[in-house]
Structure 1
Amino acid sequence: MQAPLEISRPAMLRRGNSRVLRNNGSNYKAVRKSAKQISCVSSPAAPTTDRLFNFSAGPACLPIDVLQEAQEDLINWKGSGMSVMEMSHRGKDFISIADKAEADLRALMGIPDNYKVLFLQGGASTQFASIPLNFTTAEDTVDYIQTGSWGSKAIKEAQKYVNVNVAATDKPNNFTNIPAQSEWELSSGAKYLHFCANETIQGVEFKYTPEVGVPLIADFSSNFLSKPVDVSKYGMIYAGVQKNLGPAGCTVVIVRDDLLGNSRPECPAMLDYAIMAENDSMYNTPPCFSIYMCGLVLDKLLKMGGLSEVEKNNKAKAAVIYDAISGSDGYYNCPVNDAVRSCMNIPFTMADSDLEKEFIATAAENGLVQLKGHRSVGGMRASVYNAMPMEGAEKLAKFMKEFQSNHS
C-alpha cells in the first residue's frame, strides 16, 4: 500500500482532536465541434480533450488536469484499495487528504496561526444564519453593506436573529455600483460588519478591504482564491467552493480564534463554529469527496505560483471580454460601474434585447455554454473563474464580434 500524502506546506502536528499548524505566513446538447479546452491558462502542457467552454456561475468548470487525476484515482486512491468516496473520514488516508488541503490553503492565502480553517456543509447560505448565531445576542446590532442579491439574502436571514443596520445600499441603482465607504452609515457598537466581496449575479466586486473598527465578515464565494487577500484584516471569511475551488457540497470558513466560543444557546451544534473547530470539521461526516477535490485544486494553485499569478490570469481573461463589450459601439453593454466590475462574473445585455435568446443559442452551438443571465436580471453573464482558460475568453470575444457583424 502506498503511503498517504505527505504534508509539506506548512509542517503539521496533531494534538488530540485539533490540528496545530506551524505557518510562516508566506504568500504562498449541445455541440462540441470546435471546443478544445485546456485546463488553465498557466498550464499549457495539460492534455486537451473535447470540452465545452462552460461559463456557468456555479457549479463551475474545473481544471482538466484535476479532473483527470481524480479520474485516475477514483476507484483506487493512491493504492489504498478504495475510492475516496468509500473511505472512513476517521481513517488515516482521509485524514491525510484533509490535513494537506488545510495546509495548502493556509500556505496559499498566508492564513495566520490564530485563525481556524473549517470545511463545512450547507453552502454559504447557511452561514447567513450561522454568523449571527455565533457572534451576537438578540439585542445586538450589526452592520451590513447591500451590493446585490447575495448581500440582500444575507441581510434577510440575519434579521431573524439580530438587529440589522443596512449601512449602505446600491439597490436604487439596481446594484450597479458599490457605495463609497465615506457614505456608509455605520452603527455605534456594532458587533461586526458584513459584506459580499463579489456579487455573482450583479457582477460587482470590492477592489479593496474596508477598514472599520469592528470584526469584518465577508462572503467571498465567487471570488475566493481569485486574488491575494490579507486574511488578518478579517474576523471571518467564508465561501462556497463550487466557483473557484471544487465541486458543490463544501463551504470554507476561515475564522479568527477570539471570535469563537460565544454562540447562542439555541445555536444548533452543526452551525456552531467552535464545535466544528474542536472536531476538525468532523463533528459529523464531512463532504469527503468535495474536500478531496478542493485539495487537488489547492495543490495546483500553489504549483502555478500562488494567488498573484492567478490574479494576473483572471484580469487578463476578464479584460478580453470587457474589451469586446466596450469595443462594440453600444451593441453590447455592461451595466456595472467600471471601477467595480468583477473579474469573475461579467453581466451584459444587447441593444436589441430580442436577439439575446438567439445569441445564447448560437453561442451554445459553438461550444460556449451557460451564458444566460440570472433570471432576476436577464441578459447574459459570462463567469470566468480560475479554471476558465484564456482560450475560452478569447473564443467568446470573437463570437461576440462575429454575432454583431452578422446581425448589423
Structure 2
Amino acid sequence: MRIRPYNFFAGPAALPLEVIERAQAELSDFKGIGMSLMEISHRSKEYEEIHDETQQLFKELLQLPEEYKVLFLQGGASTQFSMIPMNFLVPGKIANYVMTGAWAEKAILEARKIGDVFISASGEANNYVEIPSLEDIQVYPQTAAYLHITSNETIAGTQFHSFPRIKNVPLIADMSSDILSRPLDVSQFALIYAGAQKNLGPSGVTVVLLREEIVRNIPENLPVMLKYDTFTKHNSLYNTPPVYSIYIVNLVLKWIKQHGGLVSLEKRNAEKAKLIYDAIDQSGGFYTGMVKLNSRSLMNITFKVHDDELEKLFLQQSKANHFIGLEGHRSVGHLRASTYNAVPYEACKALTDFMIDFQKRYG
C-alpha cells in the first residue's frame, strides 16, 4: 500500500482526505445524473445548487452581514492586485498599502500602474520578520481610497493577529493563505479576497467577499471582466465559472462545518503550530525561527538549522521519511512548514518528532 506523504506544501496545498475521496466517488457520476459535474452546463440545476450552496456556506461559517456578497472569480489573487486599484483608486485619491513582504509588494507594484500609492507602514527595514504595529500605520482619510493589507505572508511566515480600523477608510485584505483559519469580524473589511489553493480548495477559483456599497461608483470604462459589479449583478455567472474548483471548495466548507467551524479550527491550528514552534524554541539554537514571536504565522512556519550542510541533510532525510514541501521559498531559502486547515495534527506531530530526533542525532 502506498504511503500518503505528510504534505507541508505552501500552495497548492493539502486537501482533507475525506474531500478527495468524496470527489473521487462523484467524479464520473455526480449524484446519479450519469455525468461528471465537469461535463454539465453551469446553468444547469445541479450546478446552480452547488454554486448557491457554496455562497451560503461562506455566509454561515463567517457569519457574513446581509450587505456582503460572495463572488467566485478567476485569475488568482494576482488578478485582484490589479482589479482593486482599477475599481477603487479614482483620480484625486491615494491607495494605502501596508508593506509586509513579497505578496504585499506584488500588490503595490500593480497599484502603482493605476494611480498614486502611499506606503502606510513597512517591515522592509527589519527584513519583514515582524508585522508593523497597528499604531504605526499612517493613513490620511481625506485622500485615502482604501487601505490594503496582506493578512498572512506565506514566504516570510508572518501574520496579522489583529487588524487596523481607520474611520471612513475601506479596509481591503488579501487573505489567500489564512482565510477560514480562525473566526473573523468581516464587518471590519470592505473587501476580502483569497486564491483558493491554500486553505479553500484547488487552484482555479478566487473568492471575493465584498460589501455591496463599494461597487456603486466603479468606473464605467473598465473591461467587463475586470469590474466587480459584473459579478455582483450576475451572481458570478456572467461567464462560465470554474465549476469544478467551486465544487471542491463546497466540499471543503462542508468539512469545516462538520469539524466544528472556525472556532474549532482556530484551536486546532494553534495546537498544530505550537508543536513545531516548541520544537524550534526548545532546541537550544539548533533550530531558529525566522520571525519575531509577536508576528508568527499559524499557517506558514519558517525556520532554519544552525548549519547549512545539516539543513541540506535535514531536507534529504525528511523526504526519505515521507515529509514533502518543507523547502523554504526560493527567494529566502531555509525551511517552511505550511500547516493549513487540512494539514492534520498527526502530520505536525510526526514532523515535530522527526525534528527532535534529527537534533539528537546531529546536535
User: Which TM-score band applies after superposition, normalised by the shorter structure?
Assistant: over 0.9
What is the aligned counterpart of 2:271 among 304, 316, 321?
Answer: 316
Judge which range, 184-193 or 234-243, deviates more: 184-193
Q: Does 1:290 align with 2:266?
A: no
Check whether the contact 2:134–2:163 (CA below 8 A) recurs between aligned residues: no
1:81 to 25, 30, 34: 34
Shift of 1:402: 1.2
Q: Deviations over 1:357-381 (max 9, x none)?
A: 2211210110111100001111000
Q: How many residues align?
A: 361
Residue 338 (structure 2) aligns with? 383
Structure 1 residue 364 corresponds to structure 2 residue 322: no
SS at match of 2:283: coil
Q: Helix, strand or coil for the counterpart of 1:372?
A: coil
CA contact (8 A) 1:141 1:187 kept: no
Q: CA deviation at 1:148?
A: 1.0
Match of 2:175 in 1: 220
1:259 to 214, 226, 238: 214
CA distance, structure 1, for counterparts of residue 136 and residue 163 of structure 2: 16
Cα-to-partner distance string for 1:102-134 (whole Å, 9 max, x where unaligned): 111110000111011101100011101000111
Task: Report the equivalent of 2:231.
Answer: 276
Match of 1:210 among 158, 164, 173: 164
Q: Output the amino acid matched with 1:302.
A: K
Equivalences for residues 134-283 of structure 1 within 5 A: 134-189=87-142, 190-213=144-167, 214-283=169-238
Q: Aligned equivalents of 1:303 and 1:242: distance in 2?
A: 20
Determine helix, strand or coil for the equivalent of 1:167.
strand
Measured against aligned partners, the alpha-carbon deviations of 1:278-325 in whole angstroms (never above 9, x if no partner) come to 111111111000000000010111111110001000000000000000
Does 1:336 find its partner at 2:291? yes
CA apart distance, 1:230: 0.5
Amino acid across the alignment from 2:277: Y
The CA deviation at 1:200 is 0.6
- 1:99 pairs, out of 30, 47, 52, with 52
SS in 2 for 1:192: strand
Q: Deviations over 1:50-92 (max 9, x none)?
A: 3101100000010011100000000000101110111100111
Q: 1:226·1:310 contact (CA, 8 Å) conserved in 2?
A: yes
Runs of 4 or more above 3 Å deviation: none
State the distance in 2 between where 1:300 and 1:185 align: 40
1:145 counterpart SS class: strand
Contact 1:138/1:161 (<8 A) preserved: no
User: Does the aligned pair in 1 maintain the 2:101–2:156 contact within 8 Å?
Assistant: yes
Aligned AA (2:292): N
Q: Deviations over 1:317-368 (max 9, x none)?
A: 0000000000110111112110110000001011102222221121011011
Q: Distance in 2 between matches of 1:182 and 1:292?
A: 41
The separation in 1 between residues aligned to 2:226 and 2:285, in whole angstroms, is: 47
1:187 CA displacement: 2.6
Q: Select the residue among 22, 29, 32 that pairs with 1:69.
A: 22
Deviations 1:220-268 (A, max 9, x none): 0000100011111110011011111100111000010110132224422
SS at match of 1:195: strand
| Higher share in helix | 2
User: Identity, % of aligned pairs?
Assistant: 47
My pick for the range that moved more, 316-325 or 259-268, is: 259-268
Q: Is the 8 A contact 1:136 1:264 kept in 2?
A: no
Alpha-carbon distance in 1 for matches of 2:305, 2:140: 41
Match of 1:5 in 2: none
Unaligned runs of 5+ residues in structure 1 are: 1-31, 34-49
Return 93-102 or 255-264, whichever deviates more. Answer: 255-264
Using structure 2 for the length normalisation, give the TM-score: 0.97
What letter corresponds to residue 95 of structure 1 in structure 2?
E
State the alpha-carbon separation in 1 of the partners of residues 141 and 244 from structure 2.
44
* Cα distance between partner residues in 2 of 1:306 and 1:185: 35
Q: What corresponds to 1:9 in structure 2?
A: none
* AA matched with 1:293: I
CA-based RMSD: 1.1
* Equivalent in 329, 337, 340 of residue 374 of structure 1: 329
> C-alpha distance in 1, partners of 2:154/2:140?
27
- The TM-score with structure 1 as length reference comes to 0.87
Amino acid at match of 2:345: M
